Each structure stands twice: as C-alpha cells, then as structure tokens.
Chains A and B, each alone.
Chain A
C-alpha cells in the first residue's frame, strides 16, 4: 500500500517539471499565457525545457534524482527501497537548494563561486509553480524514505508532518531572521566584519545612563528595559488583582470585567495611544477642564515614558489577566484549608501558600508583559515624543535619514537578547519545584476568601482601572463621531462616510469609501491566514506533545523564534529574504499571508500543546489498538477534543492578522493595502477622526468574526466537558 505514495509523488514532481513553468511568471499563472511557451519561451519554459533548450544545465541533476525516485518506487523488491528513496530524494533536495541559492539574478550569487567556476553567462529568477511542486515532491519523498527506513515509528504520516513543519519553519522563520541578523556583522558592502557589531552597539545613544544621574537622556537600550520592566510588573500586578477579584470575591460585575479583557486584544495597536492623547493631551479633555476650572496650565506630560507606559498597561493588562486567571483558579483550596487548619490566619495563608503556588503564573504573566512591551511599536510611535525605544529606533534606522541596515540588525540582535534573557529568567524563577495542585483526586474545598487587606487593595487598584479603560474606549468611540477633536465637537458621521461610503449607481453598488480597498484586502488575507495558522500550529503542537523524534526540542525552540523577534525586524527580514530568487514573493499577497502565519503560529502551538497535554494519551493508544493509524487518530480522536484550542488558534490567528502593523509596513503594496497600515498613515497625517472611525469598525468586525468562529467550530463547553470527563476516568 505504501508504495503508492512514493509513486504518486515522483510522478507529480516529474509532471510539474515537464508541464509547469519552472520559474515565477510576471503576470501570474491564471493568465494562461505560459501554455504556449512551455517549451520555447525562456520565461515560461518548464524545468525540462529549461535544462535542454535554455542552457540551465544545473537543473538536470534535480530531475535525474526525481527519475531515480520514480524507478525506486516501481521496484518490486521491498528491500533497500527506503534507503534508495532516501538517498535519491536527499541528494535531489541538496542539489535543488544548491542551485537555487548559488545561481541568482546575475549568475553566481557569491564572489567565490565566480572565482572557482568562472563567469556564468546565465541567470535565474524566482521559483515558480514547477519548481515549487518539485521541491514539495522531493520533501515528501524524503519523509516517505525516512519512514520506510523505520524512522518516526515507521509512520509516513508523522514523517510527512515533521518534514512539512520543519521545512516551512526553516524557510519562513529561521532563514529570513538569520539573514537579517547576519547584517549586524557586515559592513556596507556586505563584507564580514564582526568588530563592527561592537562598534555599532557600544555607543552612548544606546547605553548612556545620564537620565538617572539627573539631566540628559538615557540610551534606547535602557529606555526599552525600564519600560519593559515597568510594563511587566505593572501588568502582572493589575492582572493578579483582576484575577483575584473575579475568583475570590463576590464582586458583582464579573461578566463586564471579562468583556473588558477581550476589548484590548481586538483593538488596533494605536487606538489606546490616540485615546490617551484625546483625554490627556495638551488639548485633551482633562487638561482643558483643569485649565477652565482652576487655571492650571495645560502640560504635555503624556508624551514620553509616562504616556507609553500608561498605554502599554492598558493594552497588555488583559493578556496578563488571561494568563493568571487559570493559575489563580487552579490553586487548590485543599492546601489553603490545610494551612488554616494549622492555625495560619488568612493573610499568612495568602502570602505563604496561595501566592507561592501562583509563582509560575506570575512569572509567565511577567514574561508576556515584558515581551509585548519590547516588541510594541504602535504606542511608542504615537506617544513616545522623543523617548526612543529599540523598536522605534530599529524602524528609523531602516526608514529614517540614516538608512543603516547594519545598525538596525545590531539593534534587533540586542532586542532578541533581551527577549531570550527574559525567557531564561522566567525559567529560573519557576525552577524545577512542583506547583501541581490539580490531580485526579476531587477538590471538594471552597476557595478561601481573600484577606481583607488584599481584597481592598485589589479592589482599589482594579476597579478604577476598569472604569478608566471603559472611559478611554468611550472617548475613542466619540472621537470618531465629532468633526475635529479638541476644536469642533459638532457631532458628525463624516468620518464614517469618508471611510465606508457606498453609492448606488446604475451598475450596482459602488464602494467609494476610502477604506474599502484596505478593508476587503485585510479581511481576505486574514481569513486565508487564520486557518493556516491554526492548522500548522496544531500539527506542530501534536508533534511536539505526542510524538518522539530526534530534534524535537530544536523544533520547539524554532517555533518560538518568531514570537521573540519584534515585528519590524520580521518585516525587513522578509523583504530581504524574499525579494530575490530563489523565493521571490515581495509585492504579492502571499508574502503578507506567510508573515501572518509564521508570526502568529507560536501562539497556536502553545494553545495546542496546553490543550493536548490535558487529553489522556490512553485515548490515542485505544485508537491505535483498534488499528486506527496516526492520521485517523488525529482526525477522529484528538481534533474533536481540541475544539477550544482550535477556536483559540483561529481567533488569535485572525485577530492578530487584522491588528498587526509593524511586521507588514514593508510588505504592503498598492494592490494589497492593509487596514492597519492605512490607519497609521492617517494618524501620521493627523487625521485622527478617520483613523478612529476605521478602528471602531475593525473592532466590531473582529467581535463578529470571533462569534462566527465559535459558532462554526462548535460549542466549546461541550468539548471541554468531554475532555474533563475522559481525563477524569483515565
């Protein structure tokens, strides 16, 4: 049975090499213009034609490797078939990669190749349909070969999934990031000069500490660190306060609190910054009122550290809350009761039992706050004034008057070091101690009420904060409904009409609003990206949790890589890596989709891993005993139990795709303009009304989509109950 797969892939690869254009077409496949020139035209020729007719001799070995694979697949004996297949496909892939990387737009792509082989009087452009299918075929053959040799438990599906996930992560995460980071060690002409990194990083602008010694500005590295520490601590504290209020008090508006936690996640990145300006800016409501009532001079305090810090607190506290709520709920009442039986009072119980048990949650929440803060671009750009942080500094090193990619890359490296440092710190803090409080045994106790002091503190911090968040959103909403905020408060729908006007003409509806183009593109691309993100994330999670294979931890690290790298760096990295052959996709919709998918996949992986570890392995084993194979087990047993995780990954994939800005600034084109880049342009031009109107529309859209996804994937409560039930019995 297994022999059909290698046969099919070899044939598919060879067909693609004969009947599809090898290189990318200027006008796209759907035009059909290539059909006529498949043999004769150098632009349209297939792989075979390129080799024979157009002097691309270096493609020949790849095609030969495919033919050998076909021959192997047709072999009668089973013996050594796996080995042969493995060798042939691996050699094919290697040769494929070598020619793709070695020969570019201007012949040999590096100097030493030219010196060794002499000038090459030929060139190649980006891979097209033919080349891509051949590559996928070779990869599949490789995984089948591995499985035939007994790798991955002899399961071709597992082998295929691992190769797919690994290859796509290498191509679309590791490769672009490495490419940009290497620039940190290169001078302007691309020569390696490691000393340059030191020179670039050891400057006053980055490390000066003069702001502490009174007067002067601190370096951007310190600015970033201070902000991230503040944000990490602040969001953790606030998130904890909210989590305690929701789980341990009889507070009446828990539902409202829950809704408040979703809002910032679906908010485009600069709305909070804008709302803060509308409220606290010099012409903002608060200052105007103070001046009018008490004659206090309006100030500009919102621009700088304070403003960015506030905005980040508003934006990221809900995330900390979401991380902490599970942990706070999970602390077993039994232990607290035991503590009280031992005559500890409520306060002692809280500080010595409950809080330490929450340590992993607190560390996680801090980590998330820290990383979100250093990667944040929207808030510092709107509110930073002249308080520079690394993310804005990188942006301006690329687009500003300096145009220094080397500097941008070194700063990105620094940012990556900060992020990784936080990861390791978190691991150290959590340590190896046991925090397990949920076991198979029933928890019959009731959660201990909070000590009065903690309760009051939590309420005093959290409730004004919640009220404040509501107020900010209220103002932001109103800001889209008045003519010019701060000057002319006449209510108007102008901004909405300008953005979303639809005219009825003889030919039907005419979408004349300025925002429609970017709106539909965003919707379309996010809708393509979300399922891909979820699928890839969940497959990766399933592999990481359920399968044992060599290189598992390396794969796990690689999946997390793009999460730690700030968006601007990813964006520039994508332009660098994918503007030149072999993969030449800048200016297309695909590069934007890929950027969405690989940037947001880590969260899908995490969600999937968490959910998967709740499902008892014995269910998989039962399926296997009943002769279900890996794919059937995945489809019929694991996936139905994963509904909450699927919903989560889909929603997150979609929402992040709609709200992301820094990563896609360099990837958008006129044809594929996105909502967020359109909004930031309006903000830069000072057109706040339209920006806010558009953002409000996006928020409504995302809430609608979240509901739709929940509806489509199915009731998550039902899924959960099933999980709990089966987990309990096992």
Chain B
C-alpha cells in the first residue's frame, strides 16, 4: 500500500518526464522549415516540396523577428534546418551573428542579380527568393470622400490634408519600418531624412507594432494612407477592399525576402534539397498561388499579372550590406526613437 501511494506521489513528477519520449520526428526523410511568409504560402510550399521530393516537411510559421529570436535562443542546439522567407535584414543579421550556414546552390545562375548580391553580401549565408518594393497603400473610398489626391511622392505625405491619416510601423518592432527609414536615409541623406520624418510625424496617427498592420488598416478604412510593401496592397485589393498602391516618384527601396540554412542543422542534406527546390520556378510560382505578389528571384518564374512590376518603378540602389548590419540598424533606430518616436502626439 505504502509503495503504491509513494509511487502515486512520484507519478506526478514522472509523468511529464516520461511524456516527451515520444517527441521529435525521425531524422530520416525530414526537414524542419521555419517559414516567415504568409501561412497559406508556407503550407503550399510544404505540401508541394513533399510531393516533389518525398521528404516530410515540418513547417513552423513565425514572423521573421520571432524566428531570429528563436534561432538565437536555440543557437547552442538548433531545432530548425532551413529558414524560408521573411524580410532580408534579419537574415543578414543572422549571417552576421553566425547563426546560418554558407551554401552555394547550383541554381544560383538562374537568379536575378539582386538575389545573388544578397548571397555575396552575406558571404554565402543567405539568398534572395523574392523582392518587394516599398511604397504607399491608400484607401480609394476615403480619398474620394475627402476629395484628396492620392499620394505619388514622398513629398506628398507632408501635405496638410493627410494630417492624422498616415500609418507606418514602429521600427523598434518592424522590419518594414526600418526599410522605410533606411530608404529615406539613402535617398535624402541622413540629416534631411530625419527632418522629413519629423515633419511627417504630424501626419502619422499611429506607429503600429506590426509591419503589415498599416495596410490592413487602410483596407478596413481605419486609416487613409500607409507606408507598406506594395505587394501587400495587391493582396488586399484582391480580397475586395478599395485599396490601391503607388511607389514614390523620388525613388524607393525594397526588401529582399531571403532564405538561409541554419547552422548546425540536423538534416543538412534535406535542407539543401529544399533550398535548391525553393529557387526553382516551380516553387516560386507558389507565392502567386497563395495570393502573394512579390517579384520572384528566379528569372524564369512567370510574373503574375497583378504583381507590381519593378520595371515601372524607380528603385534606388539599396545598400543591403551596409543597412543590414546590426550596428547601423541599432544606431538609426535609436536616432529615430529619440528624435521622432519621442515627439509629442500631434
């Protein structure tokens, strides 16, 4: 009796300890993918790769910020194999912090130069899989109601009619907002760029925490204009919202959605197979199928008709290598914090 009851007491401790024994998946024929694009795209990619290769994909969808946080926390004992998608800066940062593995895919020759440059900039640790330009999203119904002309240039955003009508993300938490600031700095020079941001502050109604939130707010009429990636606007427009997008006439920056192999990956061979596959046109078509309209990095991938075309935009020569460095990033964000973020609410 006593024995039984003591065991009962210990059971509470023993039970949870015994549980995990049925834990992580088998090392054979598996690849663990951390996926930082939209969930539909992630699922589609997982299924298609599984069909094409027979390798089981275990996919975890998380934003790029959460993913790099996870990579750091797991650095001593990585659980993922490939990191697919998400804006390029965190990938460059991961490369800088030695969290990812250099790899030169045989598919490299088929890629656009910007995708290859991402690879050389990071000493081979990451590669571009898609690109998306930064621009404005606006709600056409709200514009019509207020009888305001849609913004076409960065300068337009300072106009008084947009007072309290613009939303952008907070660079402390969002990579999108950081791309915007880095773009302005490269376009105008740092001093002028901060002058501009300070002036625009009067027109901003909120610096949201998430980078995609401003476009969602535009779609639902919660704000008139957003500073966002333009391909996000296409998705909203297709969902039936009165959203249009524009890229600034002065020129604009862009993100390079990237992919990296995680250092210490347990299924490195399969991870490389996934990596090579993700650079083929067959894989890159899936973005459009999931209603995501970035520009794919493989030259042979057909561009969906809805996608914003790079040819129609004025793109700056975005220096991913310089502005992807964490020191530069920390410095610019700190400056934004003290000079812009801390300003009183208009």
Contacts and interface: CB of A to CB of B under 8 A. Distances in A.
Given A282-B221, A403-B68, A487 B240 contact: yes
Given A129-B21, A665-B66, A685-B38, A208 B342 contact: yes
A28 B24 contact: yes
B316 interface: no
B216 interface: yes
Given A399-B66, A585-B20, A585-B23, A576 B6 contact: no
A281 B213 CA distance: 14
A216 B342 contact: yes
Interface in A207-228: 208, 210, 214-217
Interface stretch (A263-271, A589-597, A693-701): A589-597
Between B12, B60, B93, the greatest number of chain A beta carbons within 10 A of the residue's beta carbon is seen for: B12
Interface residues on A, range: 35 or more
B109 interface: no
A303 B205 CA distance: 10
Given A28-B21, A399-B63, A580 B76 contact: yes
Contact of B173 (A128, A401, A580): A401
A717 B162 CA distance: 63
Contacts of B74: 575, 579, 586
B153 to A, nearest CB: 25
B175 interface: yes
A489 B236 CA distance: 17
A584 interface: yes
A161 to B, nearest CB: 5
A386 B170 contact: yes
B212 A684 contact: yes
Nearest to A4: B3
Given A381-B209, A590-B19, A487 B220 contact: yes
Given A26-B27, A684-B210, A399 B221 contact: no
A424 interface: no
Contact of A392 (B59, B209, B241): B209
Contacts of A156: 2, 6
Interface in A112-162: 128-129, 132-133, 135-136, 139-140, 143-144, 156-157, 160-161
Contacts of B25: 27, 671
Contact of A144 (B6, B13, B206, B338): B6
Given A594-B16, A671-B58, A684-B212, A386 B221 contact: no
A256 B89 CA distance: 53
Contact of A401 (B175, B206, B220): B175
Contacts of B330: 402
Contacts of A580: 76-77
A283 B222 contact: yes
Given A8-B3, A204-B342, A384-B209, A29 B22 contact: yes
A497 B261 CA distance: 37
Given A132-B17, A133-B14, A401-B171, A587 B344 contact: no
B10 interface: yes
A39 interface: no
A30 B40 CA distance: 32
B10 A136 contact: yes
Given A27-B27, A488-B240, A401 B172 contact: yes
B39 interface: yes
A580 B282 CA distance: 38
B241 A216 contact: no
B297 interface: no
Contacts of A593: 16, 19
Interface residues of B, number: 81
B195 interface: no
B9 A157 contact: yes
B222 A487 contact: no
Nearest to B216: A686
A25 interface: yes
Interface stretch (A532-540, A558-566, A616-624, A642-650): A532-540
A509 interface: no
Contact of B10 (A164, A381, A401): A164
Contact of B206 (A385, A539, A591): A385
Contacts of B345: 215-217
Contacts of A40: none
B337 interface: yes
A631 B12 contact: no
Contacts of B61: 670, 681
A128 B21 contact: yes
Given A399-B65, A670-B58, A129 B18 contact: yes
Contacts of B220: 281-283, 486-487, 686
A594 B18 CA distance: 12
B70 interface: yes
Between A403, A488, A671, the greatest number of chain B beta carbons within 10 A of the residue's beta carbon is seen for: A403
Interface in B108-158: none
Interface of A: 1-2, 4-5, 8, 24-31, 104-106, 128-129, 132-133, 135-136, 139-140, 143-144, 156-157, 160-161, 164-165, 167-168, 204-205, 208, 210, 214-217, 281-283, 300, 303, 381, 384-386, 392, 396, 398-403, 405, 484, 486-488, 528, 532, 535-536, 539, 572, 575-576, 579-581, 584-591, 593-594, 597, 629, 631, 665-666, 668-671, 681, 684-686
Lowest 3 CB-CB distances: which A-B pairs, in order?
A: A215-B344, A686-B216, A400-B173
